[in-house]
Amino acid sequence: MTTISSEVSADVPAGFSLLEQRSDFLRVCAEVYVHEIRPILAVRVQAHHLNYVRIAHGGFLATIADTAFGVMLRRLSKSEVPAITINLNVDYLNAVHEGDWLEAHVEILKTGRHFTHANCLLKVGERLALRAGGIFTPWKGPLPCT
């Protein structure tokens, strides 16, 4: 189950809590926050998330969308089994800058026995930065010890 921490910094909007991160990869990427009620994951964009032209790197934005899918699919299914990404499509729509509060809004479109289809919109305020669509399946291998 996804757990959250009550620790938040002053620049984090109300309603968000620090996600207790499980993977070392995500831990080095960013401090990730999850909305306590709505299916939203968020990060504060920092200098190390930027590319050569000083906007958020596309790979970082795709990582945030994919992470949001995983966290929200697990939360909404209330399952201990993580969802594995089979397909991820992203459209980059606007630049994201250092200091931006970036939110990933997830919508589950259809859940079947083997596959789940979902959409994710990355937004800075009302400005749409990325649109992602994905197909996911439950992990069938052994789970790591936690």
Any idea what DSSP says for residue 23? -
Q: pLDDT tens digits for 103-144?
A: 999 999 999 889 999 999 999 999 999 999 999 999 888 877
- Quote the percentage of the chain above a pLDDT of 90: 71
Per-residue confidence (pLDDT) for residue 136, from 0 to 100: 97
pTM for the whole structure: 0.89
Q: pLDDT tens digits for 67-82?
A: 999 999 988 887 778 8
Which CATH architecture describes the domain 4-138?
A: Roll (3.10)
Residue carrying the six token digits 């594995």: 84
- Report residue 60 CA to chain centroid gap: 10
- Residue 109: is it exposed, middle or buried by C-beta count within 10 angstroms (0-12/13-18/19+)? exposed
Per-residue confidence (pLDDT) for residue 6, from 0 to 100: 42
User: Is the torsion defined by CA of 131, 88, 111, 76 positive or negative?
Assistant: negative
Q: What does the block give as tokens for 64?
A: 């945030």
Say which residue, 140 or 50, is predicted with more confidence: 50
E strand or H helix that includes residue 106: strand 101-111
